Every structure is written in structure tokens, then in C-alpha cells.
Amino acid sequence: MTTGIILPEFDPFLINFGGFGIRWYALAYIVGLLAGYWILRREARRHTAPIDLAGIDSLLNHVLLGVILGGRIGFVLFYQPSYYLANPLDILKVWQGGMAFHGGLSGVIIAMWLFARRRGIPFLSVSDRVAMVVPIGLCLGRISNFINAELYGRVTDRPWGMVFPGSDGMPRHPSQLYEAGLEGLLIGLIMLYGYARGWLDMTGRLSAVLLIGYGLARFMVEFVREPDPQLGTLMGLVTMGQLLCLPMIAGGLYILWRSAPGNGGRTA
């Protein structure tokens, strides 16, 4: 076993005023949302865009609410239901505990459905545009997890194993960086390529890419990511994260199949 790369303890606050301030994780959410908002406003200026500039403002509010409520409720239901059942008021303490990506995704799906229904826009036309910018937030969020020394990987003897502050002192996979590279950079590059190739006009294509890409990336990284201590592995086989990725992959494959020209797919 190698000694590993010993990491310094980073301050979880970018700006700290005696325990209050701006945390890196909160900054990741803010920058991710603003970057996505800027990109979607540029896209909305196309004369063929189904969502106008005013609609993008409304969509941002819907997505923000979906991320916060869905992410928190998902964490409560998927990862610590017994604790929050005994301490229901702690659910409101969003600065403690955590957020779940799969819960946030569910919240955003509901928010996009409500937005699309009110505006009379096809749901997948909305989800394609949101999917296009999601990798920005995923990349920044995983880097924030790395800075906070949380959600790290399992013990490893690889030369790039890292000893995280507050851990047991064993070198571990920097699984946060793996996820930042796969879920953020790689899927982001695929989105950029797809946008350049006109995939945004192929209804459902980018939504399918996000669902399949994230599902596969997260499923693979879970093999080297430390399981949640309160859950461990389910039936000794898979983690909760892997289990939640399966319907994502299946849903993405179905959307991809349905969006094919021979199966009723159409351009936006």
C-alpha cells in the first residue's frame, strides 16, 4: 500500500464570516446556473428557438426550485430516511446533510414538465436545452466535493491515491475528480459536439445523451467510490447510486430509440 498524496485541508468557505458566508459548494450551484442561463439566453435568440428570452427567465426559476427541493427530498428519501423520520425538522436544515443528484433530477423533470405544459412547448424541447448545460454544474459540483473532502473513493494502492483530511488516513481514489471528468468534461464535450451538429433540433437527442452518459459514468465510478456508511452496498452487489442510475439509462435509451426518424422522431 502506497502512502498516497496527502491533501491539505481546504476551507469549505470561499468567504467566511464566523461560520457564515459563501461555501464552495453553493458557489458551484450559483456559477453553474448562471453559466447555463447565459448559454440558454444566447440560444433563445435563434429565430427557431421554442423558448423566448422571457421564457428562459421563467425556466431558470422553475429549475432552481426543482434542484433545491428535489435534491433535498431525494437525499432524505434515498440515503437517510430513518434519521429524518426521527428528526423531521432537520429536513429544513439544507446547510446540513446533503443533496442527491437523482432527487434533484426528479425535481427538475417535474419543474420542466410544469413549465412546458404552461407554455405549450414539447417537454423534450425544454429538457434538451436544460440537458445541454447541466454538465457545467456537474463538473463544478464534483470539484467542490473534492475541495470539501467529501464523497471520496475507496482505499487504493494506485500511485494517485489521496489521503483526504478528516478520513482514516488511508489513500483513496479521488472519485470526485473522476466524476468531474466523466459527468462534467466528457459529457460537456459531447454536448458541444452535438450542438454543433444540430442535435438540438433533433427532439430528445440531448436529453438521451445526458441520461445515458451520466447513468453510465456514475455507475462505473461507484465501483471505486466509498459507499454511503448508512447504506453500504445493497444485497452486497450494488450501491444506491448504481441502482438509481439504472432507470436513467433505460429512460435515455428509450428516448433515443423514440427520437430516431424511423420510430416517429421529428426535428424541433
Range scoring the smallest mean pLDDT among 120-124, 144-148, 226-230, 256-260: 226-230
Q: What is the pLDDT of residue 265?
A: 61
Mean pLDDT highest for which of 25-34, 50-59, 83-92, 256-265?
A: 50-59
Place of cell 427557431: 48
- Residue 127 resides in a domain: yes
Residue 178, by phi and psi: left (phi above 0), alpha (psi -120 to 50) or beta? alpha
Tell me the three cell numbers of residue 76.
432524505
106-126: average pLDDT:
95
- Residue 250 resides in a domain: yes
Q: What is the pLDDT of residue 3?
A: 76
Confidence of residue 263 (pLDDT cuts 50, 70, 90): low
Domain that holds residue 226: 5-263
Confidence of residue 139 (pLDDT cuts 50, 70, 90): very high
Domain count, the chain: 1
Contacts by 152-160, CB closer than 8 A, 24 or more apart: 152/176, 152/225, 152/226, 153/178, 153/224, 153/225, 153/226, 154/224, 154/225, 154/226, 155/1, 156/224, 157/1, 157/2, 158/2, 159/2, 160/5
- Residue 101 resides in a domain: yes
d(CA 118, CA 111): 11
Give every CB contact of residue 112 below 8 A, 6+ residues apart in sequence: 59, 62, 63, 66, 123, 126, 127, 130
Dihedral of CA atoms 30, 186, 40, 201 in degrees, nearest 10, equals: -160
Average pLDDT, the chain: 89
Confidence of residue 182 (pLDDT cuts 50, 70, 90): very high
d(CA 240, CA 157): 25
- Residue 253 resides in a domain: yes
Q: How far apart are the first and last CA of the chain?
A: 55
Contacts by 233-241, CB closer than 8 A, 24 or more apart: 240/78, 240/79, 241/102
Q: What is the pLDDT of residue 264?
A: 59
Q: What is the pLDDT of residue 84?
A: 87
Q: Are 142 and 179 in contact (CB under 8 A)?
A: yes
- Residue 187 resides in a domain: yes
d(CA 153, CA 164): 10
- Residue 268 resides in a domain: no
- Whether the predicted pLDDT of 96 surpasses 70: no
145-159: average pLDDT:
93
* pLDDT, tens only, 14-73: 777 766 677 777 888 889 989 999 999 999 998 788 999 999 999 999 999 999 899 889
218-223: average pLDDT:
96
Angle at 181 between CA 79 and CA 175, to 5 degrees: 45
